[in-house]
Amino acid sequence: MSDTMDRRVRRTRERLTGALTELMKEKNINDISVRELAELADINRGTFYLHYRDPFDMLCRLEDELLEQFASLVERYRFKGSLDFDCSNEFFVKIFELVADNAQLISILFCPTGSSTFWSRLGEMLRDGFAKDAEAYFGEQSPVRYGYYCDFALIGIINIVRRWLENGMREPIDEMGTLSRDLILLSAMILQQ
């Protein structure tokens, strides 16, 4: 019985997420009503309120869940001060798998009607997650130089993801993981010279 409920809850949330992303293609989150969401998801408003307070709460919670998934990957695949190309390739592949699994939501977050804070929160989380590892790798080099590298790497990977989504995710995930790893880590090695 519990499994059936879990499936129903998952299905309802998937429908609501689909409805929200569909509406956000055209509207700002502040202009979306619970009624519109419920109608498009084919649920009643009461069901919506079992899960969320309002559309903004829903978007915030979806963003938080996505950030938790990214944080889990960062913790699992930290470089720990050395550039392990095999491990880092797996990390970038996992990033693209996560993006593919959440493509609808992530695409909307890139739109002008999307979240204004999600990408800065993600960048901050990634920077914090790898800060000690990168400091160990770069050694005694200037923190200013390291800061520029981090900004370059974060903006680079975010824009690679954006372009991949805009192009319909045509390139295989493994290829995107390798490309990202090569661009980010090879630039780190060049900077260290």
pLDDT of the residue at 172? 98
**78 and 21 both lie in a single domain:** no
For the chain, 193 residues long, the average pLDDT of each consecutive 10-residue run is 71 94 91 96 94 94 94 79 62 94 90 77 81 68 74 88 95 96 83 71
Boundary residue ending a domain (11, 30, 52): 52
Per-residue pLDDT, 1: 45
- pLDDT score, position 132: 65
CATH number at residue 148: 1.10.357
Q: Which pLDDT score is estimated for 17?
A: 94
Examine the domain organization and report whether 66 and 47 are in the same domain: no
For residue 79, the enclosing domain spans: 60-192
Question: Do 29 and 90 fall within a single domain?
Answer: no
Residues whose CB is less than 8 angstroms from the CB of residue 47 and which lie 6 or more positions away in sequence, other chains included: 12, 38
Which DSSP state fits 23?
A: H
How far is Cα of residue 117 from the mean position of the Cα atoms in its chain? Answer: 12
Task: Provide DSSP, 7-73.
Answer: HHHHHHHHHHHHHHHHHHTTS-GGG--HHHHHHHHT--HHHHHHH-SSHHHHHHHHHHHHHHHHHHH
Q: How far apart are CA 132 and CA 153, in angstroms?
A: 15
Within this chain, do residues 27 and 76 fall inside the same structural domain, yes or no?
no
**What's CA 9's distance to the chain center, in Å?**
23
User: Residues 23, 37: contact at Cβ < 8 Å?
Assistant: yes
